[in-house]
Amino acid sequence: MITAITFLFCLFLARFFYIQVIWEDDLNARALDQWTREIPVSAGRGNIYDVNGELLAGNLPAYTVYARANAVTDAEGTASLLSDALALSYETLYEKLTDGSRSEIVLLRRTEKSVAERIEGADLDGVYYARDDVRFYPHGALACQVLGFTSFDGSGSTGIEQYYDKYLAGERGEILFETDLVGVGLEGATAAYIPATDGLSVRLTIDYRIQALAEEVMRAVLETSSAKAVRAVVLDPSDFSVLAMVNLPSYDLNDIPRNDLSALNALSRNAVVSDIYEPGSTFKIITAAANIEEYLRGNAAAYALNAIFSSSRTRVVDGTTIRCWSDHANGKHSNQTLAEALNNSCNPCFVDLALALGKQTFYDYLAAFRFGRATGIDFSGEAIGMLLPESTLRDCDFARIGFGQTIAVTPLQLACASAAAVNGGYYYAPRLVDAIVTEDGALLERTEPVLLGRTVSEEASAMLSSMLEGVVRDGSGKKAYIEGYRVAGKTGTAQKYENGHIAQGKYVSSFVGYFPADDPRYLALIIVDEPQGAYYGSTVAAPCAGQIFEGIIDLFRLPPSEE
Question: Pairing mode, if any, of strands 426-428 and 451-454?
Answer: antiparallel
SS3 496: strand
- How far is the C-alpha of 396 from the C-alpha of 42, rounded, in Å? 61
Question: 131, exposed or middle or buried, with CB in 10 Å at 0-12, 13-18, 19+?
Answer: middle
User: Catalytic: which of 201, 225, 281, 476?
Assistant: 281
Q: What is the 3-state secondary structure (H, E, C) of 105-162?
A: EEEEEEECHHHHHHHHHHCCCCEEEEECCEEECCCCCCCHHHHCCECCCCCECCHHHH
By CB neighbour count within 10 A (0-12 exposed, 13-18 middle, 19+ buried), where does 228 fall? middle
Largest CA distance in the chain: 107
Query: What torsion, rounded to 10 degrees, do the Cα atoms 434, 435, 436, 441 define?
Result: -120
Among 375, 553, 549, residue whose Cα is nearest residue 477? 549
Encoded amino acid at 206, one letter: I
HEC profile of 230-253:
EEEEEEECCCCEEEEEEEECCCCC
**Nearest partner of 435 among 160, 149, 146, judged by Cα:** 160
Long-range contacts of 297-302 (CB under 8 A, 24+ apart): 299/357, 299/361, 301/356, 301/357, 301/358, 301/361, 302/356, 302/357
Residue 431 bridge partners (DSSP):
241
Q: What are phi and psi of 259, to 5 degrees?
A: -80, -10
Distances from the Cα of 541 to the Cα of 186, 225, 246, angstroms: 71, 10, 14
Could you tell me which of 511, 528, 9, 27 has the C-alpha nearest to residue 281? 511
**SS3 state at 316:** strand
326 is catalytic: no
Give dist(CA 270, CA 144) in Å, integer.
9
Calpha distance 211→433 (Å, rounded):
15
Query: Residues 154-182, buried b or exposed e (16+ Cβ, 10 A)?
Result: bebbbbbbbbbbebbbbeebbbbbbbeee
Query: Whole-angstrom distance between the N-terminal and C-terminal Cα of the chain?
Result: 100
- Mind telling me the catalytic residues? 281
